[in-house]
Amino acid sequence: MKEAKIFALLAAVFPAAYFIPFSRPAVQNGINEGLLMVQEYAREHVLLCLIPAFFIAGAISVFVRKDSIIKLMGPKSPKVLAYGIASVSGSILAVCSCTVLPLFAGIYTRGAGIGPASAFLYSGPAINILAIIMTARVLGAKIGLARALGAVVFSVVIGLLMHVIFGRTKGKDEKDNDFASSEGEKDARPLWKTVLYMAVMIGILVIVNWSRGGSEAGFFYNVYKVKWIVGGALLAVLAWMIVRWFRKDELKEWVFSTWVFAKQIFPLLIGGVMVAGFLLGRPGYEGIIPNSWVAGLVGGNGLWANLFASVAGAFMYFATLTEVPILQGLLGSGMGQGPALALLLAGPALSLPSMLVVRQVFGTKKALVYILLVIVMAAVTGLIFGGVF
């Protein structure tokens, strides 16, 4: 199987190297945009978003009891409890589609049901309170409210549909993945210590990535002003916990588990970001596909415009909050209200990099169904919203 993969890679690379017209300005610009997007991603998301998320995922794998996750979010857990926890925890994190992936992989490989895991995967980047508030302020209250309601409903409906379609069975195309999973279930410390330790790490992830918001007198801006002080204090508390509460062998296992997640996910993310930048460029810049083509295809509120907006949003990479100014420009270029909502519901929750990782965790069949559910539901919702408003 490994040899077949190597052959497939070589078979794909050679025609690309042979036929792609690298001397053309459009292709060179696309390559440049891809590299610049990778650099932007590395500067803005890896140190403060992705690395903390990897450590949290590693901690889930090592220190959180598997039966606890199964009890709260497993296939047999009460639906209200499982989906409530999945959607609420995802919305509290308010991370981008790439940062949520290590956390999603951690809870899924530790026994969370496919439904709650899918709900968590969608809710993390989609139910971003600050992004929803900014959407309402910049794009209008109607589309802001529709985004908020749509994102909450989507997280639950997508999770339920994934559970109905796949249930508790394991797809025949889903291979056993290599993500870390500690099988030792003995408690080395009281439960409250584990909970507090996880809460501090999540707090660090949330606070150091806090955005300033639109107003300089609002709640978000006031938190933004002190985020480094709060983040530093939480980091000091975490260091104290690590020294006092954990054995050296546990810390080694935690680091190893974190590394397993990182080496499985990070290369896929970087490759996906590169391709997304090559095709569509960074916000405000063009990749190989001209922005005018995109703007022209999402005009009006027809089925095609909504479907195209949903698909384009699903493949683009949006850093947190960047979707709002992008849509503001597209709406000024003639984009319909329906396609705008479709892109808002599909874009932040999916991206080409995240699709690659979701396939690695879920398997090909389940990943395709998840992606199609997000795209179709976003397009249909946009079509209805555009028809009404």
65-106 pLDDT, tens digit per residue, is 666 666 677 767 777 777 777 776 666 655 566 667 777 887
pLDDT at res. 129: 66
Whether 330 maps to a domain, the answer reads: yes
Q: Spell out the residues 6+ positions from residue 342 whose beta carbon is closer than 8 angstroms to its own.
A: 306, 307, 309, 310, 313, 378, 379, 381, 382, 383
pLDDT of residue 233: 93
Q: Is residue 184, in this structure, part of any structural domain at all? A: yes
User: Tokens for 131?
Assistant: 């992004």
Which of 151, 146, 162 minimizes the C-alpha distance to 113? 162
- Residue 257 counted as domain residue: yes
**pLDDT at site 322:** 66
User: pTM for the whole thing?
Assistant: 0.69
Its domain, for residue 285, covers: 45-188+246-388
Cβ burial of 191 (10 Å; 0-12, 13-18, 19+) is exposed
Residue 136 lies in a domain: yes
Contact 139, 327 (CB under 8 A): yes
Q: Which of the residues in the chain have pLDDT under 70?
A: 1-2, 65-71, 75, 88-99, 128-130, 133-134, 168-188, 213-215, 217, 283-284, 295, 318-322, 325, 328-329, 332-333
- Identify the bridge partners of residue 335 per DSSP, sorted by sequence position: 299, 300
Residue at 16 is within a domain: no
226-245 pLDDT tens trace: 889 999 999 999 999 998 88
The structural domain count of the chain equals 1
The answer to the question of residue 78 being in a domain is yes
Residue 92 in domain? yes
> Is 116 within a domain?
yes
